[in-house]
Amino acid sequence: MIVRAPATSANLGPGFDCAGVALDLWNELELDHGPAGRVSVEIEGEGADELPADDSNLVVRAYSLLASPRGVRFRLRNRIPLERGLGSSAAAIALGLAAARRDETPEELLAHGLRLEPHADNLAPALVGGVCLTWEGRIARVADRLPLRAVLVVPGERTRTDEARSRLPDRVPHDDAAFTVARALLLGTAIGAGDAALMGAALVDRLHEPYRPSELLAAIRAELPAGAAGATLSGSGPTVVVWATDAETCAAELRRRFPEHAVSAVAVATRGALGEPS
């Protein structure tokens, strides 16, 4: 059995803890018969020299929620960078759940996965693909694509989600909450209508991005590259997503301006670890 799970970008600016999109960048799991009574884990690519190669691996832990991993060989081919705000943990959980799945629904799998990591906005699109909204354990796959293309600017440094989240305040000013609600409504309308101009207007947030300061995000927003409509922090960062009408022109300029970072234009992944949407 071979299962693939996509990278994801959560929040999309004002869609904090709710909106997420699957991206065309994939981790892969191949399952085979392994040593009797034992768990075998092999890892290639991202994290090969640091992720655990035993039953504490997140893929194996997710698989174990639904089936015994004993006697199974897990071969992982990782392409999603670790701790860069691109949902590498969600992809790992989605791989394990999809590989062990019997007849569970996506929302049942989401509930299982949230026992390992409480980030539904990443896990939902990793499971079902496309653009998703999540709330109270539910998934709404609202679109196959977005009206703007994503250009990823991926720094070398890492961000731990729990540390970034600890910087968020318990309360925010009423003006900031109202501002972000308005932009979230614009974002939802833009996705539903496929309206690039509305999406560009929506890509500002006051609930989480101000408390996760990013010099890279500030520099890009101060001088948007040609073909760009806006930029957001991917999850808790450090990756920045530049949203563009002309992704190739935008990416070329970003490579010139930020040669120390990895820059790539990526499409929305229309499927997730569970395969094509029904």
- Contact between residue 134 and residue 18 where contact means Cβ atoms under 8 Å apart: yes
Q: Are residues 99 and 123 in the same domain?
A: yes
Q: Are residues 50 and 180 in the same domain?
A: no
Q: Are residues 77 and 204 in the same domain?
A: no
When the pLDDT of each residue in the chain is averaged and rounded to a whole number, the result is 95
Q: What is the pLDDT of residue 278?
A: 52
**Residues 6-56: tens digit of each pLDDT:** 999 999 999 999 999 999 999 999 999 988 889 999 999 999 999 999 999
Q: Are residues 138 and 43 in the same domain?
A: yes
Q: Are residues 126 and 221 in the same domain?
A: no
- Contact between residue 74 and residue 106 where contact means Cβ atoms under 8 Å apart: no
Q: Are residues 167 and 124 in the same domain?
A: no
Confidence of residue 277 (pLDDT cuts 50, 70, 90): low
Confidence of residue 179 (pLDDT cuts 50, 70, 90): very high
User: Within a domain: residue 271?
Assistant: no
What CATH number corresponds to the domain at position 225?
Answer: 3.30.70.890
Q: Are residues 8 and 107 in the same domain?
A: yes
* Helices and strands in the chain: count of H runs, count of E runs: 9, 10
Six token digits for residue 80: 């999603």
**Residues 58-116: tens digit of each pLDDT:** 999 999 999 999 999 999 999 999 999 999 999 999 999 999 999 999 999 999 999 99
Q: Are residues 100 and 154 in the same domain?
A: no
Distances (CA, A) of 42 to 25, 49, 52, 78: 20, 11, 9, 11
Nearest C-alpha neighbor of 46 from the set 19, 66, 76, 72 = 76
pLDDT at 166 over 90: no
Confidence of residue 165 (pLDDT cuts 50, 70, 90): confident
pLDDT at 132 over 90: yes
Q: What is the pLDDT of residue 265?
A: 98
* 169-189 mean pLDDT: 96
User: Within a domain: residue 66?
Assistant: yes
What is the domain extent for residue 106?
2-143
DSSP codes of every residue in 254-265: HHHH-TTSEEEE
User: Within a domain: residue 275?
Assistant: no
User: Within a domain: residue 93?
Assistant: yes
Q: What is the pLDDT of residue 163?
A: 81
User: Within a domain: residue 69?
Assistant: yes
Helix-, strand-, coil-residue percentages of the chain, each rounded to 5: 35, 25, 40
**Residues 133-163: tens digit of each pLDDT:** 999 999 999 999 999 999 999 999 988 878 8
User: Within a domain: residue 273?
Assistant: no
Q: Are residues 6 and 138 in the same domain?
A: yes
What CATH number corresponds to the domain at position 18?
Answer: 3.30.230.10
Q: Are residues 138 and 159 in the same domain?
A: no
Identity of residue 192: G
Parallel, antiparallel, or unpaired for β 39-45 and 72-78?
parallel
User: Within a domain: residue 183?
Assistant: yes
How much is the pTM?
A: 0.95
User: Within a domain: residue 277?
Assistant: no
Q: What is the pLDDT of residue 187?
A: 97
Q: Are residues 36 and 124 in the same domain?
A: yes
Distances (CA, A) of 103 to 59, 99, 100, 107, 108: 19, 12, 10, 12, 10
* 187-215 mean pLDDT: 95
Overall number of domains in the chain: 2
- Which of 143, 174, 205 terminates a domain? The answer is 143
- Which of 114, 143, 172 terminates a domain? The answer is 143
Distances (CA, A) of 112 to 16, 68, 105, 109, 139: 22, 15, 11, 5, 14
Q: What is the pLDDT of residue 164?
A: 77
Identity of residue 232: T
